[in-house]
Amino acid sequence: MEMINIKINGMPFSVEKNTTILEACKQFGIKIPTLCFLKDINEIGACRMCVCEVKGARSLVAACVYPIDREGTEIFTNTKKVQESRKTTLELILSNHDRKCLSCPRSGSCELQEMCADFGIDNENRFEGARPHYENDESTLYLVRNNNKCVLCRRCVAACKEQFVGVIGANNRGFDTEIGCAFEQKLADVACVSCGQCTAVCPTGALVEKDDTDKVFDAINDPDKIVIVHTAPAIRATLGECFGMPIGSNVKGKMVTALKRLGFDKVFDTDFGADLTIMEEANEFIGRVKNGGVLPMITSCSPGWIKFCEHYYPDLLPNLSSCKSPQQMTGAIIKSYYAEKENIDPDNIVVVSVMPCTAKKFEIKRDDQGRNGLADIDISITTRELAKMIKSAGIQFTELPDSEFDPTLGVTTGAAAIFGATGGVMEAALRTAADTLTGEDLKEIEYPDVRGTKGIKEAEYDVAGLKVKVAVASGLKNAAEILDKVRSGEADYQFIEIMCCPGGCVNGGGQPIQPAQVRNFTDLKALRAKALYDEDKNLPLRKSHESPVVKKLYEEYLGEPGSHKAHELLHTTYVARKKY
């Protein structure tokens, strides 16, 4: 590592050669504004908000992509020339921007809005001119595109391309440039996989999830409905960020209290559904291995990944586990077993799920999800939507005491908790499969090789004399790499876990918005995942098959994993979809 000496605003510093100005300034506590830059994803230097002066350079340089490669380089980040350039750029961006900030879903978490405050810019500016008007694209079940709020940063385009999908891009040229699908198609008409990564990186309100909070409040206020909510494991590790709490805070207790105060009749844990998923999935995997079934078996918990497979790898659909996701399994059991147990007409039950994922909004409307004309899940909302509900109800989240989930479907295991992190489903399944195959209560239950935020992980385990080679992929670009190996016959895996979003559900498209200033220099995935692994470590039960609630369910209702009734309620089918 070669170090060089430089000066920033007259102060001496030492940095690694070829460090960018942006990275160097971050190291030394100097904030440089950025709008288009996303580390490793969108490094194009296009917005010009990060410009700085470099002594000897003929013009201002983009700090996000300018490498410091000369001894003695002198950098100036706050001169009058720099400030005037940034302010002018910002005013030009605003000149054709829809500035209805008070009604914008991103008001208060908008990077453009924050910059305007930093630079002292109000709604009146000297570049007022023609503003094109775009109709919102609300064609999908899961998001809304409002190009009137778009600043052409292209972060969404880069995120979509990083997800291997690439169904959006820049259309037209010059003043007429807009972000959209090819040939002006609606998002619902292209092979969008509903992952929502575009909404997570958009700096403004140009891309947001479709808001279903009014539907939830309407259900809660209907005296004829019993409204039951359940929350995914990743929510407890991220919801606190919406209320200013440190990244990686586990707010499970406060979250449950908030849900009860919102008026839900019962508050359950989707971890129950995760434990149930493992019971069915581990049984399915063992059955395939013993009976010559299609291998490798690939997990089916992530609806964005499932839709991706249906569009881009339909020939591998037989490899997918037939298990529904934990969201769907939990809803199915609430409207069958729980309804019968409590003598409730399932027609009167409204099941709401809180998920880290915009794709869950698509999943609840899929064919072969539900039974007897009833959907497994009626409404699915994101972490961000739950935070909105809590705020609108005047609930002071950080001041809440802790509460426990309602016990009927609220006792869960550490195996379920780690579902929210990439590798968690694999590890949970291996814990149960290993005990099942050996007939023992194994004490070595952690599988470090499948942990961590690396995009692709591979390992081989000896389970009761059976060699099991596994792979874990998160992010669809990495998924495609694994699937190409499977398709070509190059890979010899038996079991594969795929999560649609990089890092897994902790980094889902419905998770709290973090600005680029945080995303670029903080490992969100690792910090959030740590909260889940810490919970796993501290829970008394750490294997799905040890859950007393799951045991009771099989004894009283389902019979055994893979039974006819289990298949009727907990398994599903897939369909090949057009790619273009």
| Total count of domains within the chain | 3
- Would you say residue 576 lies in a domain? no
Grouping H, G, I as helix, E, B as strand and the rest as coil, residue 515 is coil
Q: What is the CATH number of the domain that holds 23?
A: 3.10.20.740
pLDDT at position 131 is 83
Does 78 lie in the same domain as 165? no
Does 303 lie in the same domain as 442? yes
Instruction: Specify the long-range contacts of residues 483-487, CB closer than 8 Å, at least 24 apart.
Output: 483/309, 483/313, 483/316, 486/296, 486/316, 486/319, 487/313, 487/315, 487/316
pLDDT at position 465 is 84
Does 237 lie in the same domain as 200? no
Does 315 lie in the same domain as 189? no
Task: State the number of CA atoms in the 13 A half-sphere of 300 facing the CB.
Answer: 28
Instruction: Specify the long-range contacts of residues 28-33, CB closer than 8 Å, at least 24 apart.
Output: 30/77, 31/517, 32/63, 32/64, 32/77, 33/86, 33/115, 33/118
Q: What is the CATH number of the domain that holds 431?
A: 3.40.50.1780
- Would you say residue 112 lies in a domain? no
- Would you say residue 40 lies in a domain? yes
pLDDT at position 480 is 98
Nearest to 161 by CA among 476, 541, 572, 407: 476
pLDDT at position 124 is 63
State pLDDT tens for residues 419-434.
Answer: 999 999 999 999 999 9
User: Which residue among 208, 243, 277 closes a domain?
Assistant: 208
Q: Band of the pLDDT at 359, cuts 50, 70, 90?
A: very high
Radius of gyration of the chain (CA): 25
**DSSP track, 56-99:** T-SS-EETTT-EE-STT-EEESS-HHHHHHHHHHHHHHHTTS--
Q: Read off the pLDDT of each residue in 330-356 and give the average, rounded to a whole number.
A: 98
pLDDT at position 87 is 94
Q: What is the maximum alpha-carbon separation in the chain?
A: 79
Which H or E element spans position 288?
helix 271-291
- Would you say residue 579 lies in a domain? no
pLDDT at position 406 is 95
Question: Between 433 and 1, whose confidence is greater?
Answer: 433
- Would you say residue 354 lies in a domain? yes
Does 189 lie in the same domain as 302? no
pLDDT at position 410 is 80
User: Which residue among 175, 208, 241 closes a domain?
Assistant: 208
Q: At what angle do helices 326-333 and 271-291 cross, to 10 degrees?
A: 110
User: Which residue among 178, 208, 238 closes a domain?
Assistant: 208
Nearest to 109 by CA among 338, 391, 312, 311: 391
Taking 90 as the threshold, does the pLDDT of residue 328 lie above it? yes
Does 243 lie in the same domain as 188? no
pLDDT at position 386 is 98
- Would you say residue 166 lies in a domain? yes
Q: Read off the pLDDT of each residue in 498-505 and give the average, rounded to a whole number.
A: 98
CA separation for the pair 513, 106 (Å, rounded): 9
Does 235 lie in the same domain as 173? no
Does 410 lie in the same domain as 373? yes
pLDDT at position 75 is 98
Does 172 lie in the same domain as 53? no
Q: What is the CATH number of the domain that holds 168?
A: 3.30.70.20
- Could you tell me which residues come within 8 angstroms of residue 191 by beta carbon, excluding any fewer than 6 positions away? 165, 167, 311, 312, 577, 578, 579, 580
**Residue 134 belongs to domain spanning:** 117-208
Taking 80 as the threshold, does the pLDDT of residue 580 lie above it? no
Sole residue written with tokens 């939990």: 330
State pLDDT tens for residues 212-253.
Answer: 999 999 999 999 999 999 999 999 999 999 999 999 999 999
Does 328 lie in the same domain as 239? yes
Does 58 lie in the same domain as 20? yes
Does 181 lie in the same domain as 253? no
- Would you say residue 123 lies in a domain? yes
pLDDT at position 578 is 85
Alpha helices in 343-413, H assignment, sequence order: 359-363, 383-392
- Would you say residue 51 lies in a domain? yes
pLDDT at position 463 is 83
Structure token pair of residue 1: 């590592």
pLDDT cut 70: percent of the chain above it? 99
State pLDDT tens for residues 123-151.
Answer: 666 787 788 899 999 999 999 999 999 99
CA separation for the pair 416, 532 (Å, rounded): 9
